[in-house]
Amino acid sequence: MSEANPFRVLIADDHPLVVGGLRQAVLAAAPGAEISVAHDFDSMAAALEASPDTDLVLLDLTMPGVRGFSGLLFLRSERPSTPVVVVSGNEERAVIRHCMEFGAAGYIPKSNSLETMRAAIAQVLDGGRWTPPDFDPNSQPNRESSAMARRLASLTPQQIRVLMMLSQGLLNKQIAYELSVSEATVKAHVSAILQKLGVESRTQAVILATKIETAQELLVAS
């Protein structure tokens, strides 16, 4: 991209040292890039609203307001054309695989060197994908787990928010207040969530949401 039209990158992470390192990596990969920083879910959503032409989001899985895969699910649903690279301290292969299934363009462990981060960011900005060299993207996934991942990926941004609020124990009227919608709208979202996830009750949906929030394996193979 030319200097007149620099890359726009959003770093969504609440750790100052990590943000500083990612900023260096971004500028090394794309000199002159315009970098914004969000420290929680709300500021991330606001930053994307203010700059809808963002070229890349670097996302932490555990910053305030983001639990497990919920931030990635929201971004892929809300901004499907914006590449998202997960930058996380979690190096479990199941977590990496699910992030890629949810549509991440890359997964960078925070233990990687600055040079590795630079190379990964450059590759994604060039239209590619990046995962750790020792991760096999063609490994056979848990079929049930992958099927549930696809169901979760079908949720709308608002439905993802409702699901996360359900897992916090909020009542419909509380969710309606937080989202500035009617209780009837929340009930409609809950019904749609149950149908899409193939579960019969709010309790079952919450159990699944808890697994999402803790970035655990979505389903355990029997």
**Which domains are delineated in the chain?**
8-125 (3.40.50.2300), 143-213 (1.10.10.10)
| Global confidence as pTM | 0.81
Query: Per-residue pLDDT tens for 138-171?
Result: 776 667 667 777 788 888 889 988 988 888 788 9
**pLDDT at position 26 over 50:** yes
**pLDDT at position 35 over 50:** yes
Residue 145: predicted pLDDT: 66
Greater pLDDT, 212 or 152 = 152
Strand order in the sheet with 34-38: 34-38, 8-12, 56-59, 84-88, 106-109
Q: Which two tokens stand for residue 11?
A: 């770093």
What is the Cβ-side half-sphere exposure of residue 32, based on CA atoms within 13 angstroms?
A: 7
Do 8 and 54 form a contact (C-beta atoms < 8 A)? Answer: yes
Determine how β-strand 56-59 pairs with β-strand 106-109.
Answer: unpaired
- How far apart, in Å, do the first and last CA atoms of the chain sit? 49
Query: Per-residue pLDDT tens for 73-128?
Result: 889 888 889 999 999 988 888 888 888 888 899 999 999 999 999 999 999 999 99
